[in-house]
Structure formats: C-alpha cells, structure tokens
C-alpha cells in the first residue's frame, strides 16, 4: 500500500522512522523537554501536598519517586514525538535533513541497505510499517514504536545514491 503524501512545510525525511533513529536525532531541546517532564511531575506532587495536605505527617518519598518515573516516561514520549515531527517535515528540520543525507548516502556508497536488514517476510514488513506509521500521534492511547526494519518509509531513496 503506498504511503499517502502529505504537504508539509519542511522536507520529509522519513514517514516511519525506527526507534533508534528517532532517539539518535534528538536535539538538546528534546533532552531539555525530557528533563523538564521528569522534574515537573515531582514538583507538582510537592506543590499539591503543600496546598492541600493529605495527612499531617505523610512521607512523600515514594510518591515523589513514582511521579518522577511517570514524568520521565512522559518527558521521553514528548521528546520522541518532537523528534518524529521533524522527520515528518512538520517542524523545522534542516539539521536532521543534512544528517540524514550524510548518513544514508554513506550507506548507499557502501552498498548496504539504507534502513537495515529486514528479518520479516515482505507482507509482515508492510503490515509493520502500516501499524507504526504516524503512531507517535497516538501516544496518549498507547506508546507504539517502529522496532522492525523495512523499506516502507515514504521517501524517494534515489536521492542518496547521487
């Protein structure tokens, strides 16, 4: 099934980037968002306890740790989504376009597959791509990442061989 082409304000790098690739392309602003999510959640617990105490002598050690863990997950998902938006061309992505072109052109010169070796049959790779494409928009329902290798990325790969 062909990938639906969407008009975007910036060049599309990949419509279904793999998990490792999205994380490798994190910017410092993505790491800052992740850290902010990790820090804000325990701060919110402390603030809520200060303004509306649950008990006079309540120990907040465990709730703060749990909220930091949840905040870290939320911050990571937000950073991952921001990085994915740049892959899709929905946000400014000049640095990612240059890095992508350099990385995949090198793989093309070496004769290696651009998106890794697919260990699954072709029809399973196609189903995997259909299930994970734009899944970052549904993180509020279920965190779904592209962990499989396939060649269904919605871009013309001939630009890497020139």
Q: pLDDT tens across 20-56, in order?
A: 899 999 999 999 999 999 999 999 998 988 888 877 6
CA 143 to chain centre: 10
- Cβ-based burial of 134 (10 A; exposed 0-12, middle 13-18, buried ≥19): middle
Residue 18 has pLDDT above 80, yes or no: yes
Residue 85 to residue 25: CA distance in whole angstroms: 11
Per-residue pLDDT band for 162 (boundaries 50, 70, 90) equals low
Instruction: In whole angstroms, give the CA distance from residue 154 to residue 3.
Output: 5
Give this prediction's pTM. 0.85
Structure tokens belonging to residue 119: 């260990």
Nearest to 156 by CA among 114, 94, 122: 114
% pLDDT > 90, the chain: 39
Q: State how far the alpha carbon of 115 is from the alpha carbons of 14, 78, 112, in Å.
A: 10, 24, 9
Q: Is the pLDDT of residue 108 over 60?
A: yes
Q: Using CA atoms, how far apart are residues 14 and 12, in angstroms rounded to an integer? A: 6
């Amino acid at each position: 099934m062909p990938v639906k082409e969407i008009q975007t304000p910036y060049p599309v790098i990949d419509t279904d980037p793999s998990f490792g690739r999205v994380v490798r392309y994190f910017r410092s602003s993505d790491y800052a968002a992740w850290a902010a999510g990790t820090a804000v959640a325990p701060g919110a617990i402390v603030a809520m306890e200060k303004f509306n105490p649950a008990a006079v002598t309540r120990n907040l050690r465990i709730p703060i740790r749990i909220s930091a863990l949840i905040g870290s997950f939320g911050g990571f998902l937000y950073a991952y989504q921001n990085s994915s938006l740049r892959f899709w061309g929905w946000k400014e992505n000049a640095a990612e376009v240059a890095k992508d072109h350099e990385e995949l052109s090198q793989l093309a010169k070496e004769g290696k597959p651009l998106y890794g070796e697919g260990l699954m049959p072709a029809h399973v790779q196609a189903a995997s791509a259909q299930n994970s494409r734009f899944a970052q928009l549904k993180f509020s329902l279920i965190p779904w990442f592209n962990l499989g290798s396939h060649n269904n990325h919605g871009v013309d790969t001939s630009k890497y061989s020139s």
